[in-house]
Structure 1
Amino acid sequence: MNDGGFSALVVLDDLAAPRFSPGAAELLALMDSVADACPLDSAALHAQASAELGLGDFGPRDYEERLEVLLAAYRDAPRLSRAGRVNLHAQFLQLLKNRLLFTDLLRREPGIAGIELAPPVVIAGLPRTGTTHLLQLLAATGRFRTLPYWEGLEPFPLPGEAGVVPEPRRERTQAAVALMNDAMPHFARMHEMADADHVHEEIALLASDFSTMYFETLTEVPAWQEYYAGHDQAPHYRYLRLHLQALQHLRPGPAGAGRWLLKSPQHLEQLPVLAETFPGATVVITHRDPVHVVTSMATMVAYTDRMFSDPTDPAGTGRRWAARIERMLDALQRDRSALPPDRAVDLPFADLMADQLGAVERILAMAGERFDAAARSGAEAYLAGHAAGHLGRVDYRPELVGLDPDDLRRRFASYERRFLPSEEPLPVDN
């Protein structure tokens, strides 16, 4: 693997046989050694979460069926490693603790459900279509309430930690980011996660209701994919809305930033649910060459799969994500008309990159927000420090994840004709 600094063009030639730094190898060995104490068992996870927090009310228990399906799907994952089991155990434990803390907060603050939630601005585009870059750029205007990475992972403070400075949740997340960057040093080139304050997507909040496509990104879980696709997601989007109300109550946004800025690729196949849950929302749908999107997404998931699977299967990951993105785009073409014309815009990646400040101004105008001098200054400052490829680039090669570009072009022809009628320039990161 070429890793000659962030300026290098990196070819991820170890997807099928991962290589780790000494520190990352030591961490994985430690995780392997404690795997037997980390069962993917619902009763054990519930008991541990309750014991650690001293709380016992997880709220409405409808989520338990979903959790059982998820845990069974991961237990049956054909390549799940012992370190991967530990990773998953830690994530599910945290999600159950988040439920306990959320339920306790709602009990103590029953007025949260009545808090006004202004119509948000929502970025809904495929992974790898510039959604992360656009999210950070819009956030830099200072016009929105956003979700930092630390708050997405731990939305509610632990007992005794409310008001503690420095913020303990941020400190824990920062340590986790450092570990992630050591174990996967090229991940930042594909999806920049500079630190714990990085503006994050709200899919992490949906995860604590155990119904989101997030779980598909960790490793191969076909049973969960089938279950998730067969269920209405409206109740879980209402759960997300309640989360946003609670977070707004605990930590209001800065002055002049009254509405939320949201983003998740999941929204692309849930447009009617999104419109119903957030009436009046402004929705930005990003678009990009689907051959690049599939190759890039499959490469990123294949790279992170080393933290969950042994052996890895990059070709299988490529096939899986080609099919997954095809389903998402089928849903988009079916449901695009569910969004009010005056509250939704399609934004090709090429158009965004050709005039980024112009795109921001158009989005803010549609949302009824001012692109004043302060907002422009914030956006310009962000762009000055985040030129395309500023952390280096990955050389995305379809053959490394078992993909045939000609086959992909045929599969996505109808989407390209509708949303990308003109040729776009060479791809750039994120």
Structure 2
Amino acid sequence: MTHRPTDPWTPTSRSAQSQALFDLAEADRAARPEAYELDPERVATTAIERSPVAPLDHGYREGLAAYLNSAGADGRLNAVGTKVVLASAGGRLAARFRIDALAAEHPEIAARTIDRPIFIIGGWRTGTTLLQRLMAAVPAVRAAYPAELSAPWAAPHPSEGQRWQRFLDASDAQAVLDSLNPTLRTVHPFGNREAEECVLAMGTDFQNWGFPSTVRLDSYAEWLKGRDFVDSYRRYATVLRILQGDAPTPWVLKAPAHTPELAALLEVFPDACVIHLHRDVVDTVTSGCSLFAVFRSTYSEAVDPDTATIDETLAARLDHLNGQHGSHRYSLG
């Protein structure tokens, strides 16, 4: 039987070390407010100036504006959260420029076959992470890891030794996140050597259902509902082709964010094997509330203490997620 919590959600108290990091960020924002402006034009200009390659197009601009404007209006971000959103936006642009340049320089990448990938989908907290990591232990398939999903151009098809070294090199960023909010690991175990949600490779066009998970982005989520994701999945497929090289091993991939866009996913990966996990919807929403609240409390001091407010937002998203997925499954017969 499901027991719905009645007490308001409250964030875990921060350690002295963690609070010191947040205080430093707030002091920096007070001293340099211009560095914390969620200005799409400024973010794009900075990314272009810093990129070692020129952008091949500017098709990202509408999504970038939707993302940053929503973060500013809906996110109620603290200084750390603002910096994380800016870094996320800049990072996705940098990835777009580098991936596009690599694909243009090596047209053979587009000819690589992605052989019957496995996609694990479902609502939040339905066991997708556990199943993926169990399956990833099988040598006949491979999963993707955060460091390579975020920067596939760094080692297009590295040796195992090179892959693990990249994971070690990324450990500093992981340590910072652990310092900011150690509770994250209790609700979603993660690490550089753990298979992770492959939507980390998406969003270079700023269409990514994973973005609203860590920051409240109400207007951005509404904008996403009307978008066509086919090109987003084509870009995502390019990342997989870069990573797998010329000797592909079948992928085992997972993300609840794939669920509402199953039609687009299957248009790009027509031979995909889709595993859809199910859980009682009330359990899914309430557990999702806990997950999202913990993540968002890292980046905002104003996470809704009334879980009903979070429930309403997540229930609407889950309804859209399942509705889109159900419509496509019905159309398949």
Q: Same fold (TM over 0.5)?
A: yes
AA paired with 1:312?
V
Check the 8 A contact 1:15/1:312 in 2, yes or no: no
Q: 1:78 to 1:98 in 2, by over 3 A?
A: closer
Which of 7, 13, 24 lines up with 1:30 in the alignment?
24
Q: Please point out which of 196, 213, 217 is paired with 1:217.
A: 213
Counterpart CA distance in 2 for 1:170 and 1:234 is 30
> Take 1:110 and 1:146, find their aligned partners in 2: how far apart are those partners?
24
Aligned to 2:302: 311
SS at match of 1:208: coil
Of the three residues 45, 48, 52, the one matched with 1:47 is 45
Give 1:167-246 correspondences, 5 Å limit: 169-193=166-190, 195-246=191-242
Unaligned runs of 5+ in 1: 1-10, 341-430
Superposition deviation, residue 229 in structure 1: 0.1
Distance 2:331 2:176 in 1: 42
| Conserved 8 A contact 1:302-1:312 | yes
Structure 1 residues 230, 24: closer, same or farther in 2, change over 3 A?
A: same
Which residue matches 1:71?
68
State the partner residue of 1:249.
245
- 1:34–1:86 contact (8 Å) kept in structure 2: no
User: How far has the Cα of 1:121 moved from its partner?
Assistant: 0.8
Measured in 2, the distance between the counterparts of 1:155 and 1:176 equals 17
Q: Report the Cα offset of residue 165 of structure 1.
A: 5.8
> Is the alpha carbon distance of 1:188 and 1:225 closer, same or farther for their aligned partners in structure 2, counting shifts above 3 Å?
same
Is there any run of 5+ residues in structure 2 with no aligned partner, and where? none
Once the two structures are TM-superposed, the CA of residue 166 in structure 1 deviates from its matched residue by 8.2
Deviations 1:141-181 (A, max 9, x none): 112122112112322229xx999968674245322222222
User: Structure 1 pair 53/332, CA: closer, same or farther in 2 (3 Å)?
Assistant: closer
Q: For residue 290 of structure 2, what is the aligned residue in structure 1?
A: 299
Q: Percent identity?
A: 26
Q: Deviations over 1:325-356 (max 9, x none)?
A: 1222222332223558xxxxxxxxxxxxxxxx
Alpha-carbon distance between aligned partners in 2 of 1:262 and 1:165, rounded to the nearest angstrom:
21
Larger helix fraction of residues: 2
What are the residue-to-residue correspondences of 1:389-400 with 2, within 5 Å?
A: none
Select which of 305, 321, 325 maps to 1:328: 321
Match of 2:276 among 274, 285, 297: 285
| Greater Rg over alpha carbons, structure | 1
Aligned-residue offset at 1:312: 1.7
Partner AA of 1:143 in structure 2: A
Verify the 8 A CA contact 1:201 1:264 in the aligned structure 2. Answer: yes
Q: How does 1:106-125 map to 2 (within 5 A)?
A: 106-125=103-122
Name the structure 2 match of 1:6. none
CA distance in 2, matches of 1:104, 1:167: 25
In structure 2, what is the equivalent of residue 61 of structure 1?
A: 58
Matched to 1:21, the amino acid is S
- Map 1:267-278 onto structure 2 (within 5 A): 267-278=258-269
Q: Quick one: which amino acid aligns to residue 95 of structure 1?
A: R
What CA distance in whole angstroms lies between the structure 2 residues aligned with 1:183 and 1:15? 19
Give the distance between the partners of 2:178 and 2:107, measured in 1 at CA: 40
Q: Given the alignment of the two structures, is residue 127 of structure 1 paired with residue 124 of structure 2, yes or no?
A: yes
**Does the aligned pair in 2 maintain the 1:16–1:311 contact within 8 Å?**
no
Deviates more, 1:104-113 or 1:119-128: 104-113
Q: 1:316-395, aligned counterparts within 5 Å?
A: 316-338=309-331
Q: 2-side partners of 1:183 and 1:149: how far apart?
A: 19
- For 1:140, give the aligned amino acid: A
